[in-house]
Each structure stands twice: as structure tokens, then as C-alpha cells.
Amino acid sequence: MFHVIPRAEQDQFPNRTILFEGGQYGAPISLFLVDNAPGEGPALHVHPYSETWIVRSGQAQFTVGPETIDANPGDIIVVNPETPHRFVNTGPGRLELTCIHASDRVIQTWL
């Protein structure tokens, strides 16, 4: 069995980011396809599972626990469960990230 979710049926936020939660499709992951303007990014938060980011285009600064990391296209960043984290688009253009959540639904606690 397989599922195709047409673009028109995907959950899209006003900033163009798309959310996919795999539970309803039998998938053990969820993800965000981030598409942020300069200066945009989520506030500090945690998840009870790991999260993996793949920078597809643009520049980002990640805060992971006490560390600050600059990331560029092609970089992959993995954060452990319950580690406070956030990112912001630090480049002049749009930031495109794939944020993979090791859960069939997004569980997020804002700090």
C-alpha cells in the first residue's frame, strides 16, 4: 500500500512551511518542509524524540542547548530528545530546511 498527498492537500502555514504528520498514513515519522524568509524561525522548544534537519538552501543559525551553530546547504544537524533548540534564517534569501521528527506526530513544548 502507498499514499500520495497532493500539494493542494498538504497542511501549509502562512509562511509557506508545510507540515506532514505520518501517523494517519502508517509512517513512523513527521516532518516540516520549512520555507522561511530572512529573520524567521521558531522559538526555543523541545521534543521527546530526536529531530534531524537537512539544510536544502539558504543559511541558518541553530541554537542547540548552549551551542550556536551556523549551517549551510547540504549540512545535516541532529538534536537529541529533550534538548532545547531553535533556528533562524540568517541569510539574505529564503531558508529551505527539511525537519524530520522521529515520531508519527509532532509533539512540541515551547520554552
Q: What's the pLDDT tens digit per position in 82-107?
A: 999 999 999 999 999 999 999 999 99
pLDDT of residue 24 exceeding 90, the answer is yes
Is this prediction's pTM over 0.85? yes
Can you tell me whether residue 101 is helix, strand or coil?
Answer: strand
Residue closest to 89 by CA, chosen among 14, 17, 31, 23: 17
Domain interval for residue 98: 11-110
Whether residue 66 lies inside any domain: the answer is: yes
pLDDT of residue 1 exceeding 90, the answer is no
Q: What is the pLDDT of residues 54-90, one digit of tens each?
A: 999 999 999 999 999 999 999 999 999 999 999 999 9
Q: Name the region of 16 (left: φ>0; alpha: ψ -120 to 50; beta: rest).
A: left
How much of the chain exceeds pLDDT 70, in percent?
100
In the chain, the number of structural domains is 1
Whether residue 81 lies inside any domain: the answer is: yes
CATH number at residue 66: 2.60.120.10
Whether residue 6 lies inside any domain: the answer is: no
